[in-house]
A and B are shown apart, each in its own frame.
Chain A
Amino acid sequence: MLQAGFEMEPFFLSGERGALFCVHLYPSHIAPKGGILYLHPFAEEMHKSRRMAALQARRFAAEGYAVLQVDLTGCGDSACDFGDATWETWLADARRAFAWLSAKATGPIILWGLRTGASLAVELASALPGIKRLILWQPVVNGEQYLNQFLRIKLASEMLSGNQAQSGTKDLRAKLEAGENIEVGGYMLGGAMARDLARVKLADIPSPCPVEWLEVGAEEGESASPASQRIVDAWRAAGVTVHTRTLSGEPFWVTQEITECPSLIEATTEAISRSI
Chain B
Amino acid sequence: MKYTEQAIVFNCADCRLIGIATQPETPAETGVLIVVGGPQYRAGSHRQFTLLARQLAGQGVASMRFDYRGMGDSEGDMRNFEAIDADIRAAIDTFLKHAPEVRRIAIWGLCDAASAALYYAHTDTRVSRLILLNPWVHTEAGASRVRLKYYYLSRLMQRSFWTKILSGKIELSKSVGDLSKSARSAAKGESSTAAAPSDPRHGSPGYIERMLDGLKRFQGEILFILSGNDLTAQEFVALTQRDKRWKKLCHSPRISSETVKKANHTFSSQTWRGQVETRTVQWLASSGKSI
Question: Are A256 and B269 closer than 8 Å at their CB atoms?
Answer: no
Question: Are A8 and B9 closer than 8 Å at their CB atoms?
Answer: yes
Q: Is B48 an interface residue (CB 8 A)?
A: yes
Known: A10-B18, A186-B266, A258-B39. A77 touches B5 (CB 8 A): yes
Residues of B within 8 A of A12 (CB): 5, 7
Interface size class of A (residues with CB under 8 A): 20 to 34
Residues of A within 8 A of B78 (CB): 51, 258, 260
Q: Is B201 an interface residue (CB 8 A)?
A: yes
Known: A10-B9, A10-B73, A51-B71. A183 touches B270 (CB 8 A): yes
Q: In the complex, what distance in Å separates the CA atom of A63 from the CA atom of B75?
A: 16
Question: Are B50 and A48 closer than 8 Å at their CB atoms?
Answer: no
Question: Are B42 and A188 closer than 8 Å at their CB atoms?
Answer: no
Residues of A within 8 A of B73 (CB): 10, 23, 50, 54, 69
Q: Is B88 an interface residue (CB 8 A)?
A: no
Question: Are A161 and B47 closer than 8 Å at their CB atoms?
Answer: no
Q: Is A11 an interface residue (CB 8 A)?
A: yes
The 0/1 profile, CB within 8 Å of A marked 1, for residues 34-56 of chain B is 00000111111111101100000
Question: Are B229 and A161 closer than 8 Å at their CB atoms?
Answer: yes
Question: Are A186 and B18 closer than 8 Å at their CB atoms?
Answer: no
Q: Is A58 an interface residue (CB 8 A)?
A: yes
What's the minimum C-beta distance from A7 to chain B, rounded to whole angstroms? 9
Quick one: which of A160-217 are within 8 Å of B by CB?
161, 183, 185-188
Q: Is B273 an interface residue (CB 8 A)?
A: yes
Q: Is B127 an interface residue (CB 8 A)?
A: no
The 0/1 profile, CB within 8 Å of B marked 1, for residues 1-27 of chain A is 000000011111000000101010000
Q: In the complex, what distance in Å separates the CA atom of A167 from the CA atom of B78?
A: 40
Q: Is B58 an interface residue (CB 8 A)?
A: no
With CB as the reference atom, state the residue of chain A lying closest to B262: A161
Chain A contact residues, CB within 8 Å of chain B: 8-12, 19, 21, 23, 43-44, 47-48, 50-51, 54, 58, 69, 75-77, 81-82, 157, 161, 183, 185-188, 255-258, 260
Chain B contact residues, CB within 8 Å of chain A: 5, 7-9, 16, 18, 20, 39-48, 50-51, 70-75, 78, 201, 229, 264, 266-270, 273
